[in-house]
Chain A
Amino acid sequence: QSALTQPRSVSGSPGQSVTISCSGTSSDVGGYKYVSWYQQHPGKAPKLLIYDVSKRPAGVPDRFSGSKSGNTASLTISGLLAEDEADYYCCSCTGSYSMVFGGGTKVTVL
C-alpha cells in the first residue's frame, strides 16, 4: 500500500489560513469516509484533529476543518497560531483491511 501524498511543507503568517492536501486513490481516500488527520509536535504523540473526513473530536478548535473531493482530502487551519507549528498527517482506510498514512506536512508559522 503506497503512502498518501502530502506536501512536505506549508507556511503562513499568524492569522492566515493554510490548507494541506492529501492525495490518494479510489481504493483509499476516494472510496471511504474514513479519512482522519493528526497533529504531532516534536517529541510528542500524535493528536487526532479530524475523523470521518470532517468531524472534530471534542476539544479540537473549529479553526481546524476537513473536507474531501474525489481522491483528495484537505485539512484547513484558519486563524493560524504559533502553536499550530507542527507536523500534520492524513490517514485513510483502504480496501484491503488496512490503513495508510500520508508522508506528513510540516507547517511553519512565519
Chain B
Amino acid sequence: QVQLVESGGGVVQPGTSLRLSCAVSGFTFSRYVIHWVRQAPGKGLEWVAVVSSDGRNKYYTDSAKGRFSISRDNSKNTLYLQMNTLRAEDTALYYCARTENDFWSGFYVWGQGALVTVSS
C-alpha cells in the first residue's frame, strides 16, 4: 500500500526553524519526484517546493526561496523540508505529494499532512 506520512509539525515562534519529514512506503521512493504543498487554515492549496528523484534538482515558490530547503534521503525513503526564519504566514498544514511521471504532471498520492503553527 502506497503511503506518505508527514511528521515534525508543531507550534514555533516567528523567526525560528523547523524540519518536516515525509516517510514513504509501498513504492520505490528513489524513482519519484516529490512535492510539498501547504494549506493555511480555512484557505486554499499552495505549492511550496519540489525535488527530483535523485535529489539534484530543486525548485521553490518565491516566498520559500532562501528560507526553505527541500531534500531527500533515498536510502531512508524519506523527504525533508527544512524551514528557517518562519513567519506567521507559514502557518499551514503541510502535505508531501508524489508525482507519477514527471515534475509537473500532478500530485497522484498525498500524505495526511503535518500542521505547522507559527505564533508568538
Complex CA gap A1/B111 in Å reads: 25
- Number of A-B pairs, beta carbon distance below 8 Å: 63
Whether A102 and B44, one on each chain, are in contact in the complex, defined by CB atoms closer than 8 angstroms, is yes
B-facing mask of A37-52, CB < 8 A → 1, else 0? 0101000011110111
Q: Mark each residue of chain B from 81 to 118: 1 if its CB lies under 8 Å from any CB of chain A, else 0.
A: 00000000000000100001001111110111100000
Find out whether the CB atom of A104 lies under 8 angstroms from the CB atom of B106: no
Number of interface residues of B (CB under 8 A): 23
Q: Is the CB of B44 within 8 A of A101?
A: yes
State how many residues of chain A have any CB contact under 8 Å with chain B: 26
Is B108 a contact of A48 with CB atoms below 8 Å?
A: yes
Is the CB–CB distance between A36 and B44 below 8 Å?
A: no
B61 interface contact, C-beta 8 A: yes
Q: A3-B44, A57-B108, A99-B35 are in contact. List 17 more A-B contacts (CB 8 A).
A: A1-B61, A34-B104, A34-B106, A36-B105, A38-B107, A45-B112, A46-B95, A46-B107, A46-B110, A47-B110, A50-B106, A52-B105, A89-B44, A91-B47, A91-B107, A98-B60, A103-B44
